[in-house]
């Protein structure tokens, strides 16, 4: 599958996950998209095709301002880390801007998945109400942090699971070296573009109830893990 076809298929799956109001359908579409991405990322033939056409880039993500901005950043970084994209951020007069460094094809996938997963989280957060506006805001902020953390865990597990399932014939030393070389190139590109960056001050603590609710929401939006024994299997998307 070429890159254009891959992105088009992933986009359609994520659009369906975002549009449906059925959590089981959203889970199936998101899971299928993540598995599709993971399988193509470690395909040796794909790496060979990308050698001449792929390029290192810096892409900006405008995250806005206000109570939820650091939680949005956490979600972006969870998705980026799973696809060997590195993120730094800075404040601007109009809000926070995240700068993502990576190969163009990986950035395209990160862009798609972050947008879809954020929209899915936002639709669930919108229904949450607490006794006072400030309490609602604290809960929703914590919800998004918990959601971001769990998404990162699941994307990492999806990648490891797909790698374990690959036949031994496709797991060559040269493929592993090429994947590591791409990671090293991204790190070098980030350093050239921004030099030394300072570690950010840790965000304020999240509320346990909101965090747990967000993690549970991410768990329902399964993005590639093996089926849990106590949950029914879902048919193909």
pLDDT in tens, 28-49: 787 777 777 777 665 555 655 5
The angle that helices 44-53 and 173-194 make with each other, rounded to 10 degrees, is 40
| pLDDT surpassing 80 at residue 205 | no
Model pLDDT for residues 40-91, shown as the tens digit of each residue? 665 555 655 555 567 899 999 999 988 889 999 999 999 999 888 999 998 8
3-state secondary structure of 186: helix
Global confidence as pTM = 0.75
The three-point CA angle 84-27-23 to 5° equals 140
Q: For residue range 113-172, what is the model confidence (pLDDT) as tens digits? A: 898 888 888 887 777 788 788 888 888 888 888 888 888 887 877 777 767 766 555 556
For tokens 């965090």, the residue is: 211
**Cβ-contact 109, 10 below 8 angstroms:** yes
Can you give the residue ranges of every domain in the chain? 3-220
pLDDT of residue 51: 55
Q: What is the pLDDT of residue 28?
A: 75
Nearest partner of 147 among 225, 229, 223, judged by Cα? 223
- pLDDT score of 52: 56
- Give the whole-number percent of the chain exceeding pLDDT 90: 19
Residue 45: how many CB atoms within 10 A of its CB? Answer: 11
Average pLDDT over residues 179-183: 84
Q: What is the pLDDT of residue 5?
A: 76
Mean pLDDT of 187-201: 84
């Amino acid at each position: 599958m070429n890159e254009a076809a891959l992105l088009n298929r992933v986009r359609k799956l994520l659009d369906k996950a975002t549009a449906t109001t059925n959590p089981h359908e959203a889970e199936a579409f998101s899971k299928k998209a993540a598995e599709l991405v993971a399988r193509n990322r470690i395909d040796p033939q794909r790496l060979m095709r990308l050698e001449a056409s792929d390029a290192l880039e810096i892409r900006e993500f405008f995250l806005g301002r206000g109570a939820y901005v650091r939680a949005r950043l956490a979600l972006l970084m969870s998705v980026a880390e799973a696809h060997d994209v590195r993120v730094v951020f800075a404040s601007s007069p109009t809000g926070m801007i995240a700068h993502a460094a990576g190969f163009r094809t990986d950035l395209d996938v990160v862009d798609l998945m972050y947008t879809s997963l954020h929209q899915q989280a936002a639709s669930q957060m919108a229904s949450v109400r607490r006794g006072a506006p400030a309490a609602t805001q604290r809960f929703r902020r914590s919800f998004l942090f918990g959601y971001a953390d769990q998404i990162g865990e699941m994307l990492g597990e999806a990648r490891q699971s797909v790698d374990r399932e690959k036949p031994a014939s496709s797991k060559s030393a040269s493929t592993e070296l090429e994947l590591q070389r791409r990671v090293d190139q991204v790190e070098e590109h980030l350093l050239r573009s921004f030099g030394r960056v300072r570690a950010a001050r840790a965000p304020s603590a999240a509320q346990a109830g909101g965090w747990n609710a967000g993690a549970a929401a991410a768990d329902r939006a399964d993005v590639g893990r093996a089926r849990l024994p106590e949950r029914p299997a879902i048919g193909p998307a």
